[in-house]
Structure 1
Amino acid sequence: MWTFLYFVLLPTILIFGLPIYFYRGVISQLRKILRPDLDKLVNTRSSVLAREDWTKNPQWNLVIWLTHEGLLDFEKFRKDFYNDYVMQEDDNGNLKFPEYQQHYYKWMGFLFWRWEDVFDMREHVRTYDGDHQASVVDKSRFLQIVKELTWKPWQARKSPWEFLQVAHYDDGSGDGVEKSQFIFRIHHGLGDGYYILKLLAEDICGVSTALGKPQVIPRNFFQNIFLGFLFWIRAPFQMVQMLVAAHDVNEWHLPLDKVTRPMNIALTEPIKLDWIKSIKNEYCVSFSAVIYAAVTGGIRNLMIEKGVPVPNEMHTAVAVPVPGHPPKLRNHFIFAFIELPIGISDPVERLQKMEINYINLKRSAAPKASFAKVPLVGALPPWMMSPGCVNRLSTCLVSNFPGSPQLYFKGIRVS
Structure 2
Amino acid sequence: MPCRAGRVLIWTGPRRDAALLVVTLLVGTTAVGHASIRTGEGGDSHSPLCSPRAAILQTLLPTQSEQVTESSSDAVVESLARALSDGKTEKAHDLLVQILKRPHLTSDFLLRVGIQFAQRELYGEAGEAFQRCIQEHPEIFEAYYNLALADIAGQKWDEALAIVERAPQESRAEVLACSYLRGKVEDSQGKTREAERDLSDAFAGAPQNPTYAMDLGLFYIHERAYLQAATVFERAAGLNSRSSFLLLGLSLSRFLAGQHEQSIATLKKLLSMQPDFAPAQVLMTFVLSAQGKLEDAEKVARQGLNSTRASPYLYYLDASILVKLQSRQYKRIFEELSIAQSKISSCSLCYFTGSKAHQAQGNFEAAIADLEIATRLDPTFPEAWYRLASLYRRVGRSADASRAQDQFQELKANKEGREIQMLRENFLQTLDAVQPAQ
Fold conserved (TM > 0.5)? no
TM interval, shorter chain, is under 0.3
TM-score, L = length of structure 2: 0.23
Greater Rg over alpha carbons, structure: 2
The structure in which a higher percent of residues are helix is: 2
TM-score, L = length of structure 1: 0.24
- Structure number with greater CO (CA < 8 Å, separation at least 6) is 1
